[in-house]
Amino acid sequence: MRYFLLLVFSFSALTLFSQERRPPRQKNDSLSVNNVKTLPKSAAKKDSVSEVTIRDYKIISFARDTTFLDTTLTVQKEYKYNYLRQDDFELMPLSNIGQTYNKLGVNAERATMYPQLGAMAKHFNYREVEDINYYNVATPMTDILFKTTLEEGQLLDAMLTFNTSRRLNFSIGYKGHRSLGKYNSNQIQSGNFTATSNYMTENGRYALRAHIAAQDILSEENAGLTDKELQFESGDPEFTDRAKVDVRFDDADNKILGKRYYLDHTYKLVRKRKDSSIVEKTSLAIGHVFNYETKYYQFMQDSGDSYFGDAILSTINDKASLKTFYNQVNLEFYNSVLGRLKGNINLFNYDYFFNSTLISEDGDKIDSKLNGAEVAIGADYEKKIGGFLVNGSFKYNVSGDLSGNILDAVASYDLNDKYRFKVKVHSSARMPNFNFLLYQSEYLNYNWQNTDVFKKERINSLEFSLDSKLLGGVSVKYTNLDNYTYFGTDPSLNLEEGLENANIKPYQEEAGISYLKVKYNKEFTLGKFALNNTFMYQAVSQDADVLNVPQLVTRNTLYFSSDVFKKAMYLQTGITFKYFSKYNMNGYNPVLGEFFVQDKEELGGYPLLDFFINARIQQTRIFLKAEHFNSLFGDYNYYSAPNYPYRDFVIRFGLVWNFFS
């Protein structure tokens, strides 16, 4: 509630200035669930001014792409109905809902040119600046997702968006989650609070968007099974009740907590419109972006264990904190012929710290903090001519040690609504995340400082994609990685299985790595039946096996769709098959909250079968799924990481509900 009050206070002045007299509303201006219409694109022009349709509920992304609220029921909605609310084709979840995900594919492109805190295995549900949406709605709208979890707990994601005038919109959202899990000491709970606002003056000169985010993710960490051969792989009926399976720890937890305040506003110094229309020919605007964020990662354990090596103190309480302060000043020139060009100056202040300075027995000192300032200049460009669109962004660091540069460029072409070609280029250079550079722990082997040793990671990628209604969607991406940084063990130690976690260190691969990913999607329909297919092929060229991915990943869904009960309900039911080939799947380390490279075990090569029944009634979508039902009659060889089995058969249900007022 305190974040909501702060948001209201911050923008109360805007609310006062944005008040306007409105004519009395006609009856057909009001919106009820029954008169919200999902219209095709071609029909949008025919809407009357007074009629409110689903297209009046706009969702604006961080990149300022605008989409409309979609209340339809498709197989893509089935893929996104999960803890992350996104398609998890390239992810392999661990057993409990919200625990973490092993990666089946690699997307090395970076959103920013600055290092992050680390503990990336705990960030899948952490909403970054680029993940926040803003809204422009005709009337108040609510979006609610509910889904059952494992044993005790549930997942609820609720968002309310409303406005005080047509030009000032707010949203308040909270995603709360708790899942006890089937295995002991494996409870996961999280909370994500967000509040957003976007505003534009009546003359269009000043525009603002802002958000507040407060997030926490708390996980009990059991470090996996102690006797997987006897208590899991054997299929012994005594241990099918997973609460009877022995896990390594019952006293360890880790936690991510972050708070963020973000503001992006612009003012048009010069603007020229074409006659009396709203089409703007030329404008010159000055803008400012502000972002302040505090975040920490903490690992806690009641007593140290030799599984992670020797400990300095008997009680483990490791905490890494990061405070960042980012400001950007930009100047944007727009011309309907020349396009949109923006130049910017960026200042990034950071403070990454621990509560102590460590001096080893050999006299080596590990600092307690890294702090400083980075200064960068950059430019953005965008131009659209017919179906051809070009946009790009470039930043170059002129002062500071952490970052180098980042370039993103996209060129796309739409050919008569049937074919879309796109080419994407990414190039970046920056230091690895902070936990690679400096880390302190009560465990002796988890202390290091690599600020003078590690070099900047360099990533260059080129991607071609084609979307076609006839041929399907295909993308080919080639990525080259230099100075790739990873967690792993020293191969010269020749450790026995089970001792890796006591010897994990950050490493940097000086030899270049080449990575190829080919992805194809196509749906075939026959009457009311459809077969949706997604295939991914991956190949890696490297001197040492430090980037491990399965060569083949496939997902195939055979489903049936039809209106039922005199078209009062739309029904979709089917089976999804997912499979990935065997490979050296990364291990999970709960002390760091990171995955690490291992070469002791090849995992994968097993199918995952889900049966689902989904229905749509007006603006409500109902989901029922029997997950991994083939575990009832298959072998017990399904793992998400070494010593971490995937979940057994479970039936889960829930809904997504949009309502309007």
User: Which string of DSSP letters, residue by residue, matches 492-561?
Assistant: GG-PPTT-GGGS-EEEEE-S-EEEEEEEEEEEEEETTEEEEEEEEEEEEE-SSS-S---SEEEEEEEEEE
Query: Contact, 413 vs 383, CB < 8 A?
Result: no
For residue 39, pLDDT beyond 70: no
**pLDDT digit string, tens, across residues 419-447:** 999 999 999 999 999 999 999 999 999 99
The DSSP string of 49-107 is SS---GGGSEEE-TT--EEE------HHHHHH-STTSS--TTEEE-SSTTS-EEESS--
pLDDT of res. 403: 87
Cα–Cα dist 479/540, whole Å: 10
pLDDT value for 363 = 67
* Alpha-carbon distances of 176 from 108, 159, 510, 603, rounded to whole Å: 29, 11, 42, 32
**In the predicted model, is pLDDT for residue 50 greater than 80?**
no
User: What is the C-alpha to C-alpha distance for residues 348 and 211, in angstroms, rounded to an integer?
Assistant: 19
Q: Which of 219, 224, 221 is nearest to 251 (CA)?
A: 221
Domains of the chain listed by start with CATH number: 2-660 (2.40.170.20)
Per-residue pLDDT at 60: 95
Lowest mean pLDDT among 123-132, 335-344, 363-372: 363-372
- What is the tens place of the pLDDT at every residue in 452-472? 999 999 999 999 999 998 899
* Residues 112, 116, 119: CA angle, nearest 5 degrees: 135
Identify any residues that bridge with 158 across adjacent strands, giving them in sequence order: 144, 174
Half-sphere CA count of 58, side-chain side, radius 13 A = 13
CB 198 within 8 A of CB 209: yes
Q: Which pLDDT band holds residue 301 (cuts at 50, 70, 90)?
A: very high
pLDDT tens digit sequence for 324-335: 999 999 999 999
462-465: long-range pairs with CB below 8 Å, 24+: 462/423, 462/424, 462/425, 463/422, 463/423, 463/424, 463/425, 464/421, 464/422, 464/423, 465/421, 465/422, 465/423, 465/424
| pLDDT exceeds cutoff 60 at 121 | yes
At 309 the pLDDT is 92
Least confident of 10-14, 446-450, 456-460: 10-14
What pLDDT sits at residue 317? 95
The angle subtended at Cα 297 by Cα 291 and Cα 298, nearest 5°, is 150
Give the pLDDT confidence score for residue 254 in this predicted structure: 96
What digits encode the pLDDT tens for the residues 608-645?
999 999 999 999 999 999 999 999 998 999 999 999 99
pLDDT at 12: 39
Mean pLDDT across 41-49: 40
- Which range among 5-19, 188-202, 265-279, 397-411 shows the weakest confidence by mean pLDDT? 5-19
CB 400 within 8 A of CB 83: no
* 567 pLDDT more than 60: yes
Mean pLDDT of 109-120: 94
DSSP classification of residue 16: H
> What would the mean pLDDT of 569-597 be, rounded to a whole number?
97
pLDDT at residue number 491: 78
Q: How confident is the model at residue 10 (pLDDT cuts 50, 70, 90)?
A: very low
Name the pLDDT band for 278 (thresholds 50, 70, 90). Answer: low
Quick one: pLDDT band at residue 5, thresholds 50, 70, 90?
Answer: very low
The residue among 166 and 294 whose pLDDT is bigger is: 294
Mean pLDDT of 147-153: 95
The backbone torsions φ and ψ at residue 292, rounded to the nearest 5 degrees and listed phi first, read: -120, 125
pLDDT at 4: 41
pLDDT value of position 472: 94
pLDDT recorded at residue 53 = 85
C-alpha distances (whole Å) from 621 to each of 85, 287, 450 are 14, 41, 51
Rounded average pLDDT over 106-128: 95
For residue 37, pLDDT beyond 50: no
Predicted local confidence at residue 280, as pLDDT = 80
Higher pLDDT pick, 580 / 47: 580
The predicted model scores a pTM of 0.89
Q: Which of 33-37, 280-284, 498-502 has the lowest mean pLDDT?
A: 33-37
Average pLDDT over residues 360-384: 89
Residue 43, pLDDT score: 39
pLDDT at 490 (0 to 100): 85
Least confident of 7-11, 254-258, 386-390: 7-11
Distance, in Å, from the CA atom of 224 to the CA atom of 459, rounded to the nearest integer, reads 33
Pairing verdict, β 403-415 and 388-399: antiparallel
Mean pLDDT of 476-500: 88
Task: Say yes or no to pLDDT of 78 above 70.
Answer: yes
User: Which DSSP symbol is given to 311?
Assistant: B
Q: What is the mean pLDDT of the chain?
A: 90
pLDDT at 565 over 80: yes
Q: What is the pLDDT of residue 416?
A: 77
CA 7 – CA 5 distance, rounded (Å):
5
CA–CA distance, 384 with 261 (Å, rounded to integer): 33
First to last CA, the chain: 23
* Mean local confidence (pLDDT), 499-506: 91
Distances (CA, A) of 610 to 165, 221, 633, 651: 46, 27, 14, 10
Angle at 53 between CA 70 and CA 87, to 5 degrees: 5
